[in-house]
């Protein structure tokens, strides 16, 4: 009996050492208790070059996507309405029949001229909510774009598909993808996959993250958050396969992006409550086949990242997020009184030779800190960031932003005069 008890005790201690101790020890990292609030030297003076694009119109743009010279953004139309109904923030007030239909907005910014266009949704049903969240946009042929948008309707969250033609002032609704009957209750973000032109699935294939298991229970979602439960998942959809759950066990599956190059098809998924980004190899058109989705590597960061984005030159993976996530609900409740830190990093995808994943690399990738804004000076609740080394530009937005921030990137080695100048900039920042 004593031997049995000793075995049980050893098993418990082993479990404690292997799971619970690392689980508990990660909380100070997530909460930013010992965080050093200083960007890398080459980005120390980023704030001096930043301009907020259209702060009156572009409010609460949780996600934006840059394709060529176009920046597409999904933004809140009415901040007071969003504070009452926005499932990602556990807001489930159903208004008792008011204020009528929720209608968020989609915009396009011409990055050359900085012209802003509100894209009409003329054929979208008038009686349906449009509460925008994650999105993806791909150019399916010259001047023709396919747009996927998460829509948190009050009768269930779905993914809408629109078409946009260059020069137009509207997006045309094409289809609605409802995965609730398959378990996709809480879509967060989307990564669209162009498949073979000969396939009937063209423009209809995508991955979607499912950030929570509880559909609309604020208490259940609070448990998932506080206990960092691995209840998130990733779904794959195509016209021929429908919805299929392809990844499970993720602690708040959130941002998703990847390479669309058929020679290097790599998917990146953020499990934000584990501060982890995982890279997978996928086989376009054969995702559900054996070996259609295989894990390549985990990357562990030191903060709660949100959306993911790959730079146009495919050299960097960008991600924004929350340096003190415990302050985000407080900021949401009292945005004029409590700030919510904004952060943005980028991770090299070329450090290991070629583009990531082409040679089965297993080493680490260099990570640079671009924005470390504890006081919310640049903006509050950062959720999306992307940079362009060739243009020397950086863009960021978030839940509490007014406008989309555009800054000079000051890429390492390209815009700093010398190492001495970088050191001086770091000293000034401190």
Separation of alpha carbons 321 and 324, rounded Å: 9
Closest CA to 172 of 181, 161, 180, 183: 161
Contact predicate 159/191, CB 8 Å: no
Helix (H, G, I), strand (E, B) or coil at 286: coil
The catalytic position among 2, 133, 237, 410 is 133
What tokens appear for 2 in the block?
Answer: 């004593």
Judge whether 178 is annotated as a binding position: no
Judge whether 307 is annotated as a binding position: yes
Helix (H, G, I), strand (E, B) or coil at 50: coil
Across 324-364, where does the E strand assignment appear?
342-348
Cα-based distances in Å from 190 to 6, 133, 321: 49, 10, 17
**Residue 382, C-beta contacts closer than 8 angstroms, at least 6 positions apart:** 306, 320, 321, 322, 342, 343, 344, 371, 373, 396, 397, 398, 401
The DSSP H or E segment spanning 2 is helix 2-15
What tokens appear for 335 in the block?
Answer: 């945005």
Contact predicate 174/185, CB 8 Å: no
Judge whether 254 is annotated as a binding position: yes
Judge whether 306 is annotated as a binding position: yes
Question: How many Cβ atoms from other residues are within 10 Å of residue 287's Cβ?
Answer: 21
Helix (H, G, I), strand (E, B) or coil at 409: coil
The torsion region of residue 71 among left (phi > 0), alpha (psi -120 to 50) and beta comes to beta
Helix (H, G, I), strand (E, B) or coil at 211: coil
Q: Where are the alpha helices (DSSP H) in 273-368?
A: 328-333
For 266, phi then psi, to 5°, come to -125, 135
Separation of alpha carbons 270 and 244, rounded Å: 19
Separation of alpha carbons 385 and 393, rounded Å: 11
Active site residue 212: no
The binding site consists of: 188-189, 254, 306-307
The binding site for Ca(2+) consists of: 188-189, 254, 306-307
Residues with catalytic function: 133
């Amino acid at each position: 009996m004593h031997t049995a008890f000793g075995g049980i005790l050893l098993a418990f201690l082993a479990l404690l050492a292997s799971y619970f101790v690392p689980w508990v020890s990660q909380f100070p990292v997530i909460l930013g208790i010992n965080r050093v609030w200083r960007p890398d030297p080459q980005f120390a003076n980023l704030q001096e070059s930043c301009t907020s694009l259209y702060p009156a119109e572009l409010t609460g743009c949780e996600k934006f996507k840059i394709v060529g010279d176009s920046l597409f953004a999904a933004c809140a139309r009415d901040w007071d309405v969003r504070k009452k109904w926005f499932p990602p923030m556990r807001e489930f007030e159903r208004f008792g029949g008011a204020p009528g239909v929720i209608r968020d907005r989609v915009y396009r910014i011409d990055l050359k001229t900085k012209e802003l266009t509100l894209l009409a949704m003329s054929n979208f049903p008038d009686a349906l909510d449009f509460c925008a969240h994650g999105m993806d946009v791909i150019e399916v042929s010259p001047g023709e774009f396919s747009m996927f948008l998460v829509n948190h309707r009050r009768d269930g969250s779905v993914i809408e598909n629109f078409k946009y033609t260059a020069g137009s002032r509207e997006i045309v609704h094409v289809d609605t993808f409802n995965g609730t009957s398959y378990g996709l209750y809480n879509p967060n973000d989307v990564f669209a996959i162009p498949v073979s032109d000969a396939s009937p699935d063209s423009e209809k294939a995508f991955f979607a993250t499912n950030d929570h298991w509880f559909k609309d229970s604020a208490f259940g979602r609070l448990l998932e958050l506080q206990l960092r439960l691995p209840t998130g998942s990733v779904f794959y959809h195509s016209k021929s396969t429908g919805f299929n759950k392809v990844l499970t066990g993720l602690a708040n599956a959130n941002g998703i992006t990847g390479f669309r190059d058929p020679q290097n098809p790599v998917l990146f998924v953020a499990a934000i409550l584990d501060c982890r980004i995982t890279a997978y190899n996928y086989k376009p058109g054969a995702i559900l086949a054996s070996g259609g989705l295989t894990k390549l590597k985990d990357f562990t960061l030191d903060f709660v990242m949100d959306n993911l984005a790959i730079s146009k030159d495919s050299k960097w993976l960008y991600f924004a997020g929350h340096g003190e996530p415990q302050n985000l609900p407080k900021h949401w409740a009292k945005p004029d009184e409590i700030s919510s830190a904004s952060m943005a990093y980028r991770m090299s995808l070329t450090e290991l030779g070629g583009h990531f994943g082409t040679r089965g690399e297993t080493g680490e990738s260099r990570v640079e800190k671009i924005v470390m804004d504890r006081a919310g000076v640049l903006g509050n609740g950062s959720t999306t960031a992307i940079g362009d080394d060739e243009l020397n530009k950086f863009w960021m937005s978030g839940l509490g932003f007014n406008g989309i921030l555009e800054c000079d990137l000051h890429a390492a080695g390209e815009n700093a005069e010398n190492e001495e100048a970088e050191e001086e900039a770091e000293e000034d920042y401190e």
